[in-house]
Amino acid sequence: MSAPPIVTAPVPSLGRDLVALTKPRIISLLLVTTAAPMYAAGEPSIWTVLLVMLGGYLMAGGANAVNMYLDRDIDDVMARTRLRPIPAGRMTPQQVLAFGVACAAAATWMLAFFVNVLAAGLALAGFYFYVFIYTRWLKRSSPQNIVIGGAAGAFPPLVGWAAVTGSLDIVAITLFLIVFYWTPPHFWALALMKQVDYGRAGVPMAPLVWGERETMHQMLWYTVILLCLTVLPWWVGAFGWLYLASAIVLGALLLGGIIKMLLAARAGRPWSGPAWWVYKYSLLYLALLFVAMAVDRTLAR
Amino acid sequence: MLMSVAVSDTLFWLAVALCSVAQLFILKAVFVPAPPPMGGPAEAGRAAGRLRPASRPLEMAWVVLPAVGLVLLFLWAWQLKHPDALVRTEGPVAVASSGGVR
C-alpha cells in the first residue's frame, strides 16, 4: 500500500510576507520597462543599472504595500486578494504602512544620492500617483481608474531614461505614453474575467460600468493608439528597423488576440479563453517591445 | 535602409488618422454613454451600495486629458522632423523650433 501524496502549503513567514507586500511578479515587468530604456538612452554602467533596479523595486514595492494598506477592506472581500498579509491576519495595517513608506523613503534617498535627483523625483512622483491618484481617488470612483491610474505604471521608463541622460525628451515621453495606452487593454482583459470579484468589492471596473462588449471595443481602440505610438520612436529616428519590425509583429499579435476575443463575444461564443490569452500575452508584449528597443540601440552602436 | 520623406510623412499622417478615429470612439464612450449593463456581477456591488455612478464632468476630463497629450506628442514629433514647419516670419519676432533627437 502506497502512502498518499503529501501536499504542503508554503509556511507563512515574515520575510515571505514582506516580499508578498511588494508584489514581486508585477514589479518584474516594471523593472524591464526601467532597464531597457536605460540601454536605449545610452551606455549605463552595470552599477547604475543595478542601483536603479534596486531603487525602482523599493519604490514600486513601497507603493504596492501602501496600496494593500489602503485597500485592506476590499482585499478581504475579493477571492483573489483574501490571502494577502493584512486580510489573512498575519500583519497589522500599521506594520504594512510603515514598511511601504520605509521602502519609498529608502528608494528616494538611494536614487537621489547615487543616480540623480530627476530620476529620484520621477520615481517618487510615480509612488504618489499610484497611492493617491489611483488607489485613494480613482480606483473606487471611476471606470477611468485604470486609464488614468495607468500613468503610475508608466513612470519607470522615465526613471530609466532620466537615470542615464539626466533629462527627458520626446522618446522618453513616447515610452511613457506607450505604457499608458498599453495599460487599459491589459488590465481590462483581467477585469473581464474577475467581474464578480470587482462587483462584490464595488470597484467600478469598465466591464461593470460599460458592459463586456463596450469594454472589448475600448480595448481595441486603445490598442490601435498603442500600435501607432510604438511606431513613433522609429519615425523620429530614435530606433531602427529591428525595433520597427518587432513593434509591428508584436503589436499585430496583440491586436489579433483582441479582435479574436471581440469576434467570439459577438458570435456568442465563449470569450474567456481569448481574454486570458490577451492578458498573458500583453505582459510578454510589453517586455519584448522594450527589450527590442535596447537590443536595437545596442546593435546600432 | 532609408525611406523617402514623402513615404515617411504618409506613415505619420496614417498614424495620426488611426489615432484620431480610435480616440473619437474612446471619447464617445464617455460623452455618449450606453446604458449600464443590468444584472450580472455589477448588481452585487450596486445592491451593497458600493458601486456608485461616477461624476460626469470628471469622467469627461479624465478622457480628454490623454487625448490632449496625444495631440501634443504628435505636434512635437512633427516639429522635430520638420523644424521649418513652425517658423513664423510674419510677426515681429521669428519663432524657430529647436530640438532634434540625439
Tens digits of residue pLDDT in A168-196: 999 999 999 999 999 999 999 999 999 88
> Which among A292, A150, A268, A284 has a CA at the least distance from the CA of A219?
A150
Residues of chain B with C-beta less than 8 angstroms from the C-beta of A229: 19, 73
Q: How far is B68 from chain A (nearest CA, A)?
A: 12
Mean pLDDT, rounded, of chain A? 93
Q: Hey, are the CB atoms on A235 and B15 less than 8 Å from each other?
A: yes
Please give the C-alpha separations between residue A109 and each of A9, A104, A266, in angstroms, as whole numbers. Answer: 38, 9, 52
Q: Hey, are the CB atoms on B23 and A241 less than 8 Å from each other?
A: no
Q: How far is A142 from chain B (nearest CA, A)?
A: 5
Helix/strand/coil (H, E, C) string of chain A? CCCCCCCCCCCCCHHHHHHHHCCHHHHHHHHHHHHHHHHHHCCCCHHHHHHHHHHHHHHHHHHHHHHHHHCHHHHCCCCCCCCCCCCCCCCCHHHHHHHHHHHHHHHHHHHHHHCCHHHHHHHHHHHHHHHHHHHHHHCCCCCCHHHHHHHHHCHHHHHHHHHHHCCCCHHHHHHHHHHHHHHHHHHHHHHHHCHHHHHHHCCCCHHHHHCHHHHHHHHHHHHHHHHHHHHHHHHCCCCCHHHHHHHHHHHHHHHHHHHHHHHHHHCCCCCHHHHHHHHHHHHHHHHHHHHHHHHHHHHHC
**How confident is chain B (102 residues) per 10-residue block, as mean pLDDT?**
80 96 94 72 57 78 95 96 66 43 45
Give this prediction's pTM.
Answer: 0.88
CA quadruple B19, B25, B28, B29: dihedral, nearest 10: -120
What is the phi/psi pair of residue B88, to 5°?
-115, 125
Q: How far apart are CA A118 and CA A158, in angstroms?
A: 9
Residue B102: closest C-alpha in chain A = A238
In this prediction, residue A6 carries a pLDDT of: 53
Cell of B80: 522635430
In this prediction, residue A197 carries a pLDDT of: 85
Whether chain A has a CB inside 8 Å of the CB on B1: the answer is yes
Whether chain B has a CB inside 8 Å of the CB on A300: the answer is no
Q: What is the pLDDT of residues A117-150, one digit of tens each?
A: 999 999 999 999 999 999 999 988 888 999 998 8
CB nearest to B19's CB, from A207, A212, A228: A228
Residue B80: closest C-alpha in chain A = A236
Q: Hey, are the CB atoms on B1 and A241 less than 8 Å from each other?
A: yes
Residues of chain B with C-beta less than 8 angstroms from the C-beta of A148: 62, 65-66
Q: Hey, are the CB atoms on B77 and A236 less than 8 Å from each other?
A: yes
Residues of chain A with C-beta less than 8 angstroms from the C-beta of B16: 228
Which residues 42-71 in chain B show a CB within 8 A of chain A?
A: 42-45, 48-52, 54-55, 58-59, 62-63, 65-66, 69-70
> Which among A8, A12, A30, A32 has a CA at the least distance from the CA of A20?
A12
Q: Which residues does A14 contact at the CB level (< 8 Å), separation at least 6?
A: none
> Which among A55, A33, A153 has a CA at the least distance from the CA of A107?
A55
In this prediction, residue B95 carries a pLDDT of: 40
Q: Hey, are the CB atoms on B22 and A221 less than 8 Å from each other?
A: yes
Whether chain B has a CB inside 8 Å of the CB on A75: the answer is no
In this prediction, residue A5 carries a pLDDT of: 52
Rounded (5°) CA angle A88-A90-A92: 100
**B24-51 b/e (C-beta count within 10 Å ≥ 16 → b):** eebeebbeeeeebbeeebbebbbeeebb
Which segments of chain A have a pLDDT < 70? 1-12
The answer to whether B67 and A148 have CB atoms below 8 angstroms apart is: no
In this prediction, residue B96 carries a pLDDT of: 41
Which value, in Å, is the radius of gyration of the alpha carbons in chain A? 20
Residue A45's Cβ-side half-sphere holds a number of Cα atoms within 13 Å equal to: 5
Residue A75 CA, chain-centre distance (Å), reads 19
Q: How far is B46 from chain A (nearest CA, A)?
A: 7
CB atoms within 10 A of CB A298: 11
Cell of A112: 537621489
Among A140, A158, A224, A255, the residue to mutate for chain B (most B Cβ within 10 A): A224
